[in-house]
Amino acid sequence: MSSQPVRSEDARAEHALPLKVAVILVAAGIGVRLDAGIPKAFAPLCGESLLTHALRGVFGCAEVEHVVVVAPVSHVGQCWAAADVLGEHSRVDVVAGGADRSASVEVGLGALRPGDGIILVHDVARCLAPSDLFARVIGAVRAGHSAVVPGLPVTDTVKVVDAQGRVLGTADRESLRAIQTPQGFLREVLEQAHAGAASATDDAGLVERIGGHVHVVDGDHRAMKITTPADLAVATALLQDGPYAG
Ligand code: C5P
């Protein structure tokens, strides 16, 4: 682990703004809990794969210039096909993923192009994240935050419990946020975080571990994570029901 805390001002000072924006779209998960019989990225949602929905949301943000799709090893060609259907071959690279999410992000980091300066990491499982959420995260990075996550207020009461089921404490709900993707970073900060820390369930967690500051912006209910068949039903309703879709 690095002993040097992240200096976002140093990282920014090395670049003249505006920095180019790239998205690492991690899509290499099997999706065991969804149990679709194919990798989750290719599960159908209202007639299109989660990957196609996710790519449309990403490219709906005009600032995105490059997308690295981190694919299941068995589905690299199908990821290229999804990009081609959207007419996005030149702005896409496809690489085969790693053993866990963090390893897949690291593979994606290796496929960035030289000019990529602001990096958003996004889960294909949050395939309905709207384009304006990408723009909000990018805007916060451009405004000076070197690590940015979208978050929503928590409606459940959250308790810490031990392995025996004993409650150890109750979190103050007012200070809790449910964190989503896309998460945005200055490239140097994300690279330093992945070089210096072990695996984590999100990239901002790695930045926290090396002493970096993480800023929260408003999340969006459409950026829900599709994990189970019930989540897929909710996502279908989000796409089909006017009041929630917009
Ligand atoms: O497993 P989990 O649902 O937390 O995965 C979150 C995201 O990470 C998904 O978009 C999944 O495709 C991706 N992932 C990956 N490579 C892995 C495991 C998960 O790209 N080995």
Pocket residue to mutate for ligand 1, from 25, 26, 38, 69, most atoms within 8 A of Cβ: 26
> What CA–CA distance (Å, rounded) separates 61 from 87?
15
Say which residue, 9 or 39, is predicted with more confidence.
Answer: 39
Determine if ligand 1 sits within 6 Å of the CB of residue 27: yes
* CA of 164 relative to ligand 1 center, distance in Å: 29
The strand pair at 64-71 and 92-96 is best described as parallel
Q: In this structure, are residues 219 and 152 in contact, taking their beta carbons and an 8 Å threshold?
A: yes
Say which residue, 8 or 231, is predicted with more confidence.
Answer: 231
pLDDT band at 197 (very low <50, low <70, confident <90, very high): low
Ligand 1, atom 3: nearest CA belongs to which residue? 227
pTM, to two decimals: 0.92
pLDDT tens for 70-108 read 999 999 999 999 999 999 999 999 999 999 999 999 999
The DSSP line for 186-235 is: EHHHHHHHHHHS---SSHHHHHHHTT---EEEE--GGG----SHHHHHHH
> What CA–CA distance (Å, rounded) separates 92 from 111?
10
Atom of ligand 1 nearest to the CA of 201: 4
**What pLDDT is stored for residue 37 in this prediction?**
93
Comparing CA positions, the residue from 121, 135, 127 lying closest to residue 24 is 121
pLDDT tens for 40-60 read 999 999 999 999 999 999 999
Determine if ligand 1 sits within 6 Å of the CB of residue 29: yes
Determine if ligand 1 sits within 6 Å of the CB of residue 68: no
Determine if ligand 1 sits within 6 Å of the CB of residue 125: yes
Look up residue 122 and give its amino acid: H
